Amino acid sequence: MLDSRVSHRHSPTAPQQDRRGEQRRPLLEHARVRLCLGVLLTVAAGWLDAVGYLRLQEFYLSFMTGNSIKLGVAAAAGNWLPAAAGALVVALFLLGALTGTLLAEMPGAWSLPATLALAAGLLGTALGLSLAGWGPFHALVPVVLAMGVQNVALPPLGGVRLGATFITGTLVSVGQEMGRALLGKPGRRAWGRHALVWAGLVAGATAGAAWTERASLDALLPPAALVAILAAACTVAVAIERRRRRLPFAAREAVGDAT
């Protein structure tokens, strides 16, 4: 009869262990990796919001608070066409968030790569429509869906929303964490994560606006490429992790020594 510790060690679903027998978390579950992914996705969202603001009569592609206010203002003034456009944008974003949640909630390690791949595919579709000569509103419809998907791709990290565009809440969190730091409470540097997400959005919006003024809807190319690269990187990370878990323990030790 095999020793239970040995059988657990060789199980492909068991957590990896280092030489001291300590469990090793998968790469995509490390806080710094998650934060990096979240900030880069927020940069892409800021970039795309700038494109939408400049090319869709000041409608946003990810910032639904602004769109909801514009919808209400247009409805109050009796401007039903802009109001309908705002309602459609919000509905598309909601559909994207719903679809993204179905993927993100799937059990297993492939949920994050699948969610990001869907977002990247939608952005690629928008880029293709743009290059084919479709008008701004039609070409940017898939972007709104992609932003809904992206906003639910990553779970919060210590209260920090990753890849999302709830920036008012992020700034409130910066103020709260700075206040706690002044009071000497634990986690005095937690505000830095929130501030980093805000800075990512501003940086993306700045770059997106500058590029849009020069290249029109071709400004979709950089954020689409960024999300596609992140999706590919997550796919590779999961594939490597699963391969390492399938290897016998001695083989993993040999791979570790070789690297």
Domain boundaries, the chain: 27-242
Report pLDDT for 115: 93
**pTM value?**
0.76
Burial of 75 per CB tally in 10 Å (0-12, 13-18, 19+): middle
**Three-state secondary structure call for residue 247:** coil
Instruction: Per residue of the chain (259 residues), give pLDDT as tens.
Output: 334 433 333 333 444 444 444 356 777 778 888 888 989 999 999 999 998 888 877 788 888 888 888 889 989 988 888 888 889 999 999 999 999 999 888 887 888 899 999 999 999 999 999 888 887 778 888 999 999 999 888 876 666 676 666 666 666 777 777 787 777 776 656 677 778 888 888 999 999 999 988 766 688 899 999 999 999 999 998 888 888 777 654 444 444 544 4
Report pLDDT for 126: 92
* Residues 6+ positions from 68 with CB-CB distance below 8 Å: 86, 90
157 phi and psi, to 5 degrees? -115, 100
* Residues 6+ positions from 29 with CB-CB distance below 8 Å: none
Report pLDDT for 218: 81
Distance, in Å, from the CA atom of 242 to the CA atom of 236, rounded to the nearest integer, reads 10
Distance, in Å, from the CA atom of 182 to the CA atom of 205, rounded to the nearest integer, reads 31
Report pLDDT for 20: 44
